[in-house]
Amino acid sequence: MPHATDTEYQHIQLRELAPTIGAEITGVDFSKPVEKEVFDEIHRAIVNYGVLVFRHASLDDACHVAFSALFGELDDIKPYLALGRKNRFPFDELFDVSNQEDDGSLIKLGSKRHHTGLGNSIFHVDSSFNPRRAGFSLLRAHSLPPPGHGGNTDFADTRTAFDELPEDLRKDLLENQYIGAHSLMHSRKKAAPKDSQWLKDVDPEKFPFGRHDVIQTHGPSGRQNLYIANHLHHLEYKHPKSKDFVATPEQPFERVPEPQSTELIEKLLAHATQDKYVLSVEWQNEGDLVIWDNTCVMHKAGQGTFMEKYARDMRRCTVHDGSKDAWGYNEKTTVRMGLP
Ligand code: OGA
Ligand code: MN
């Protein structure tokens, strides 16, 4: 897929970070509200590249929220607050993605926050488990571990992964029109130690799933995308296979039987996260900002030796998807998965 080149941008400069994904953007003055012409070019760039890196953007909490709101309606952390979490930040639109507890102390290995947070360290898209999925995420480094202690964020290009699907897999996906059932509890369990006292008794089946087509058109680019993530608990057939399948509110689509369902999920994830589709972004400076489009890339937090030693204070704004696919097959409610 050819990319737009620098010459198509008048207000920003763009440097490609990998052949098919990611660009570093310069020339944006974040010390004042970003003007419409500049924003439009940023928006155009993210349609093509999926991931944009801004070094030294140095937004404060308020400007981070204000800039993010240019991309659409913002999600908030009210469901977490309702469950007793405290917000370290003065805005409910800022998600705490740090290795810190609500009081600012470092998360201890083996603690509940540590185990539940490990879900971020396997490839995922944000909020595919909620009724309305996320569109863009804007992640800012407020404070970082010293260099050499890890903590990159990695991105996987699921549009190019679709383009280059092995023929048998592509045929299977196109013929069967799978729906993916996404679950936050599932990815947390998958990433945490098997015997985690915080997660071992959690049953993903007891929570609602977020349902989305596995193959989708990414509207703004017109490219096909594999909308997959480690949140995928199982697959379902859009059209029932067996004559006796009866849809219920809990099970609106016929499930793909096991182990076929899990095997296919793992095959798709392994295909899409090969090195050739992955861009690793190093956080170099406090104030760096990275924006990605959850509807065409996956991401994961890189682990590192910083965990119990240094704060990696990352703050994220999450923009609700505004596309026609935002709700997938879900009921349009404002209920979101919390962090019990
Ligand atoms: C996120 C996330 C990755 C990171 O903010 O959604 O997954 O590197 N973060 O912190
Ligand atoms: Mn994430």
Query: In this predicted model, what pLDDT tens digit does every residue of 273-325 receive, in sequence order?
Result: 999 999 999 999 999 999 999 999 999 998 899 998 999 999 999 999 999 99
Q: Report the atom number in ligand 1 closest to the C-alpha of 154.
A: 8
CA of 188 to the centre of ligand 1 (A): 14
Rounded Cα distance, 87 and 318, in Å: 16
Strands (E), 94-222: 95-96, 134-143, 153-157, 178-182, 210-213, 215-218
Question: Whole-prediction pTM value?
Answer: 0.96
Q: Using most ligand atoms within 8 A of CB, pick from 137, 295, 313 the residue to mutate for ligand 1.
A: 137
Q: pLDDT tier at 108 (50, 70, 90 boundaries)?
A: very high
Band of residue 1 on the pLDDT scale cut at 50, 70, 90: very low
Q: What is the pLDDT, as a whole number, of residue 3?
A: 52
**Ligand 2 centroid to 137 CA: how many Å?**
8
Give CA–CA dist 182/180, Å, rounded: 6
Q: What is the pLDDT of residue 250?
A: 87
Question: What pLDDT is stored for residue 337 in this prediction?
Answer: 81
Burial annotation 218-239 (CB, 10 A radius, 16+ → b, else e): bebbebbbbbbbbbbbbbbbee
Tell me what percent of the residues of the chain surpass a pLDDT of 90.
91
Q: Please tell me the predicted confidence (pLDDT) of residue 2.
A: 47
Whose C-alpha lies nearest to ligand 1, atom 7?
Answer: 120
**In angstroms, what CA-CA distances link 98 with 78, 231, 308?**
18, 20, 12
Q: What are phi and psi of 337, to 5 degrees?
A: -70, 135
Residue owning tokens 């008794």: 201
The alpha carbon of 289 and the centre of ligand 1 are apart by a number of angstroms equal to 12
What is the overall mean pLDDT for the chain?
95
Residues with CB under 5 A from ligand 2 (ion): 126
**pLDDT tens sequence across 68-94:** 999 999 999 998 888 888 899 999 999
Closest residue CA from atom 10 of ligand 1: 301
Q: At what angle do helices 260-272 and 167-176 cross, to 10 degrees?
A: 130
The residue behind tokens 């999600």 is: 75
Task: Retrieve residue 334's tokens.
Answer: 């404002």
Query: Under the phi-then-psi rule, with left for phi > 0, alpha for psi from -120 to 50, and beta for the rest, what region is 159?
Result: alpha
Q: Which residues contact 59 (CB under 8 A, 6 or more apart)?
A: 30, 67, 140, 287, 289
Structure tokens at 165: 């699907």
Nearest CA to ligand 1 atom 4: 301
CB 182 within 8 A of CB 229: yes
**Residues 291 and 138: beta-carbon distance below 8 Å:** yes
| Paired sense of beta strands 210-213 and 178-182, if any | antiparallel
Nearest to 59 by CA among 287, 218, 229: 287
Taking only the tens place, the pLDDT of each residue in 143-161 is: 999 999 999 999 999 999 9
Residue list, ligand 1 pocket, CB within 6 Å: 97, 120, 126, 137, 139, 153, 299, 301, 314, 316
Q: How many CA atoms lie within 13 A of 18 on its CB side?
A: 20
Query: What is the C-alpha to C-alpha distance for residues 257 and 261, in angstroms, rounded to an integer?
Result: 6
State the pairing for strand pair 153-157/178-182: unpaired
The continuous run of DSSP H or E covering 291 comes out as strand 289-293
Which structure tokens are listed for 153? 């964020």
The whole-number pLDDT of residue 338 equals: 65
Atom number, ligand 1, closest to the C-alpha of residue 301: 8
From 5, 267, 316, select the one nearest 140 (Cα to Cα).
316
Which tens digit of pLDDT belongs to each residue from 51-73?
999 999 999 999 999 999 999 99
What domains can you pick out in the chain, each with its CATH number?
A: 13-158+278-320 (3.60.130.10), 164-272 (3.60.130.10)
